[in-house]
Chains A and B, each alone.
Chain A
Amino acid sequence: MTQDMTALPLSVHPSGTPAVATAPTAKAPAAAKARKTASHGAHDLNRNRGVDAALWVYILLAYAFVFAPIAASFIFSFNSDRFPSIPLGEISLDWYRAVATDPLVWEGLRNTLFVGVITGVVSTLLGFGAAYTDYRYKFAGKQVYLALALLPPTIPVIIMGLAMLAYLSRVNLSGNALSVIISHVVVCAPFAMAITRLRLSQMDPALEPAAWNLGASEWQTMRHVIIPFCKPAIFGALFITMAVSFDEFAVAWFVSGLNETLPVKVLGFLQGQVSPRINAIGTFVFVTSMTLVILAQLLLSNRDAKFRNTSGE
């Protein structure tokens, strides 16, 4: 799925972007010339080696920042000391053992996966619908509709949690995986919508009417024009919403009752005992999801390569 996101620049035809449409005509000859140079490849853009080197260093620093806590968590998960400190204690698998032998952790993991996958799919579907509605239709009360669609993530999670619990328990939906899914979709659908909407705003507004004029029905146009165009965003949305759900602990803490998800368990470890089990769980989940993402990456790039070959690009 990541693959699809990166593939974006390849799949967009330059003239399809609004930027070109608004480009001042005076620049047209230069642009034509530029297009010629650009066809030699992206590296033609690189002119100043000093700046490029600086940017490279910057990228490395950015990734160092992002990965520092992950790496530390990985290292300390093998540390025998209960409280992480330098220098390290002995290498040990105790924390993994503690996690692996805790049936509640396994149950939490199962709940998390179950909730995350369903939340991802439902949120993406709802979000896509809303984004398309915003893109295509103008109607009275649209502002209200958009507010409804985008507002939930702005609610502080702790209050969202209580409001959801109070409400769901009144309609007998609290304390199980379903209640977590319901709340998570509320929070995640706006993310899916924002991502899809961003993609739709890159679509040539003439594309859809053009398809209709060629005799395609609305449904056919959706299926053969819009959905393929949005596919990267749909996968992106699916993936982001799942990730949001996997990581959400506050609302889940309230509504999950006794069916806790893994992040709720981790919150408990953090608040209640500060145990390196946090690191062990983090590392385990990390390695597992890495494996899945790499697999997806390999599968998709394989398919993508085939696609590119056949399309003669």
Chain B
Amino acid sequence: MKKTHLPGASGAVTRRALLATGAAALAMPMLSRRAFAAPTELTMLAWYGHAEPDIVAEFEAEHNVKFVPKYYTGGDNMLGLISQSPAGTFDVILSDAEYVQALNAAGYVEELDPNDYALSDYFPEFQNFPGNWQDGKLFSLVTRFGFLGVAYNTDALTEAEAASYDVFWDPKLTGKVGHFDWHLPNLGQMSLTAGNAAAYDIDEAGWEAVKEKTMSLRSQIGGFFDYGGTFSSLNDGQMLAFAGIGDWITGVLEKNGAKVRSTIPEQGGLQWSECFSIGKGSQKADLAKKWIQYITSAKGQAKSAQMAAYPAIVPNAKGWEVLQAENPAEAKRQGMTKDAGNAMDLIRAGRIQYRQWPIQQDLETWNDFWSEYKGA
């Protein structure tokens, strides 16, 4: 915090009088936020990390903006928040690709002009990213993505062992396999394990196979964890393998010296993707647009790839180049190099499928089964 003590502080005397005795002293630094030459506040609804200084500081300084983040803990949680807040509450919205259509359908986001953004720098696969477009109109822009596979403790398993989802059934992992507590990535992986070609586009027989396969894993499971719980249980060796996650978790832990890694197993991996939109009714849509331009530009993309909260692959080819120059080790670690077998090659080789809503079943069917599985 800058150590400026501001004129604003003196005006707060009456309010301070209401606070407990000791609070007065505490109020000083708090009020000093007002000391900045009144930067424009830009609200962002996002997963944790997207409005932290390592990502936004440069943009904030350039445009005299101050981001006010509201971090959510899941897509549905995000939808719940938007639907109960007045229009225009959130200027910038980051959402997982699955939810982008729901945002569109409910009219929560503004239309974007594709010409505003460096779409031509994107890899072709991401220029027409599913869900971003609706009836030829652009509503959101994919900004980063990552793969989900087998996350494992490198002390407990070899890379070869972790190269198949079957490792979750290994007797030495009994009680040591964790689930990231959301049905979609887990059941998608089970679908691949059960031999379905398209993880999310499965008929009744395929769905039965998924259910059976999943249930057979139940006795191996040590717990169901949220984002934070996943982090700590992998880090301290509480769980030795994890379903439903990937480098977005293990990459952070690795950086901190934990012995964990993720593989894309032989049955294939899944892909999560995050997209930026402008909230409907935003009074600062121009600034929000500037932000999306910034974070999807080559420079912003390289930053985004190295986000402190969790790393990700970026869809902007020029962003890869900046990253290779800035941080070759990280570029290599995440497969954003020109070498064969890089992230794009994985996608092009068909090793990766988008995480998406089930196509032939109701979302409820999947969710209900997940609850049953947890309760079993």
Answer yes or no: A and B touching, Cβ < 8 Å. yes
Q: Is the CB of B18 within 8 A of A114?
A: yes
A107 / chain B contacts, CB cutoff of 8 Å? 30, 33
Interchain CA distance A103-B27 in the complex, whole Å: 12
Q: Which residue of chain B has the shortest Cβ distance to A164 in the bound complex?
A: B84
Q: Which residue of chain A has the shortest Cβ distance to B231 in the bound complex?
A: A274
Q: Is the CB of A169 within 8 A of B18?
A: no
Minimum CB–CB distance for B311 against chain A, Å: 13
- Interface flag for A117 (CB, 8 Å): yes
Sort chain A's interface into a size bin: 35 or more
Q: Is the CB of B33 within 8 A of A103?
A: yes
Q: Is the CB of B228 within 8 A of A273?
A: yes
A106 / chain B contacts, CB cutoff of 8 Å? 1, 26, 29-30, 33
Which of A44-52, A200-208, A218-226, A287-295 is near enough to bind chain B?
A287-295
Known: A83-B258, A257-B85. A272 touches B227 (CB 8 A): yes
Q: Is the CB of B18 within 8 A of A118?
A: yes
Interchain CA distance A295-B19 in the complex, whole Å: 15
Out of B33, B89, B232, which one reaches A175, CB within 8 Å?
B89
Q: Is the CB of B43 within 8 A of A272?
A: no
Interchain CA distance A71-B50 in the complex, whole Å: 32
B235 / chain A contacts, CB cutoff of 8 Å? 83, 85
A-B contacts at CB below 8 angstroms, number = 100
Minimum CB–CB distance for B305 against chain A, Å: 18
- Interface flag for A113 (CB, 8 Å): yes
Sort chain B's interface into a size bin: 35 or more
Which of B68-76, B105-113, B269-277 is near enough to bind chain A?
B68-76
Known: A162-B80, A175-B89, A292-B22. A83 touches B236 (CB 8 A): yes
Contact with B along A34-64 (1 / 0, CB 8 A): 0000000000000000000000000000000
**Interface residue ranges of B223-254 to A (CB < 8 Å):** 226-228, 231-232, 235-236, 253
By secondary structure, the B interface counts as mixed
B228 / chain A contacts, CB cutoff of 8 Å? 269-274
Q: Is the CB of B19 within 8 A of A288?
A: no
Q: Which residue of chain B has the shortest Cβ distance to A167 in the bound complex?
A: B84
- Interface flag for A268 (CB, 8 Å): yes
Interchain CA distance A168-B248 in the complex, whole Å: 36
Known: A118-B18, A174-B84, A174-B85. A83 touches B256 (CB 8 A): yes
Contact with A along B253-271 (1 / 0, CB 8 A): 1001010000000000000
Q: Is the CB of B309 within 8 A of A169?
A: no
A117 / chain B contacts, CB cutoff of 8 Å? 18-20
Out of A166, A174, A260, A274, which one reaches B232, CB within 8 Å?
A274
- Interface flag for A110 (CB, 8 Å): yes
Out of B22, B68, B256, which one reaches A291, CB within 8 Å?
B22
Interchain CA distance A106-B49 in the complex, whole Å: 18
Contact with B along A157-178 (1 / 0, CB 8 A): 0000010011001000011000
B80 / chain A contacts, CB cutoff of 8 Å? 162
Q: Is the CB of A268 within 8 A of B71?
A: yes
5 contacts between A and B (CB under 8 A): A113-B19, A271-B73, A272-B73, A272-B227, A273-B49
